[in-house]
Structure formats: C-alpha cells, structure tokens
Amino acid sequence: MIVGVGVQPRAELAEAAGLAVGDGIEVSATLETSVPGIFAAGDVASAWHPFYERRVRTEHWANAKFQGAAAGRAMLGETASYDRIPYFYSDQYDLGMEYTGWATASDRLVVRGSLPKREFIAFWLRDGRVVAGMNANIWDVAKPIERLIRSRAVVDADVLADASVAIDELAGIAAPA
C-alpha cells in the first residue's frame, strides 16, 4: 500500500500571523512573504515564479532544499530571484520517472516512445512551446528537457514526438520564440 499524506499545505500558523495565504504561503520571487523580513520555502511556499509568471508550489524535498538555500541568501540581502524550473522524481518498483517544468490541464500532451513498454517521454505544450516534460524509464534527458523549456522555442509536435530526433537538438531546430 502507498499512502500520500500532506497534499494540502499546513499554513494555519502563517495565516494566523497575518501572512498572505492561498495555495500555501504566498511569497515573492525572492521567497519573502507579504510581511517584510519573513521568508518561506519548501512545499508550503506558493512562490511567484518569474519564468512561468504565476505562483508555483512544488511538493518535493529537492524544492525545499534549493528554495531554503535561496531564502537564506535573500535573508542575507542578496536580491536574486528563485527561478529554478520545478523538478521531481519518483521510483516505483520497475518504473522510474522524472518530471521537469510546470504544466496545466489545458496544455497539449505529446508523447514520444512507447506507453505500453513504459518507456516514453511526455511533453506538455502551451502555444507551441514545451512547458513541461516527464521521462519514464528513459534517462539522462531531464537537463535537455529543462533547456528546451527555458529556450521558449516553438516546437513542431510531430518533430517532438519523433524519437529519432535527439532532445538536445530540439531547441536548435525549433522556430525562435
């Protein structure tokens, strides 16, 4: 049995303290809350993401690790915003998955590889641009997927689905944004 617990952020204390709370504690791109000098990070933080131009809350330990370090730097006066592309992974028996990016239900899904063999890469497109990718039992593609997302290049869905085209090449052959 697998039980997932904690899908709702525990933000009652923050709300009682007067911090802005929506789907988590609302923080700026520098991870500062609505009360100056108070910061939040991790899966409870609904952070303004400069790349996606929306609030993003990622429920994975790696997010807490990287956001925590960024919040610490912000507390020390550094002004850099946290714009790391969301990422998480999960290994479940013989299925390993990595997800990079941020997709919504209205984004177009394009798959390359074999769903029956459980060896594929799923891409989500918005306005022809890759906004997220999930690789299942295909390795060493998370970084190229992130580069493709960051490129904001318009990608032909048929080319994206073609496994004979290396992912590293996709941003180079895609139309510029």
pTM comes to 0.84
Amino acid letter, 40:
A
Q: Among 19-33, 43-57, 126-140, 159-173, whose mean pLDDT is lowest?
A: 159-173
Output the six-digit token pair for 109. Answer: 């899904």
- Reading the block at residue 128, the tokens are 């022809």
Which residues neighbour 76 within 8 Å (Cβ) at sequence distance 6 or greater? none
Supply the CATH classification number for the domain 87-173: 3.30.390.30
The topology (CATH level 3) of 12-75 is FAD/NAD(P)-binding domain (3.50.50)
| Type of residue at 73 | R
List b or e across 39-69, with b for residues whose CB sees 16 or more CB atoms inside 10 angstroms: bbbbbbbbbbbebbeeebbbbbeebbebbbe
Which among 53, 55, 177 has a CA at the least distance from the CA of 127?
Answer: 177
Both structure tokens of 55: 């609030």
- The model's pLDDT over 11-30, given as tens digits with 9 standing for 90+, comes to 889 999 999 999 999 999 99
Confidence label for 5 from pLDDT (cuts 50, 70 and 90): low
* Residue ranges of domains in the chain: 12-75, 87-173
pLDDT at 167: 86
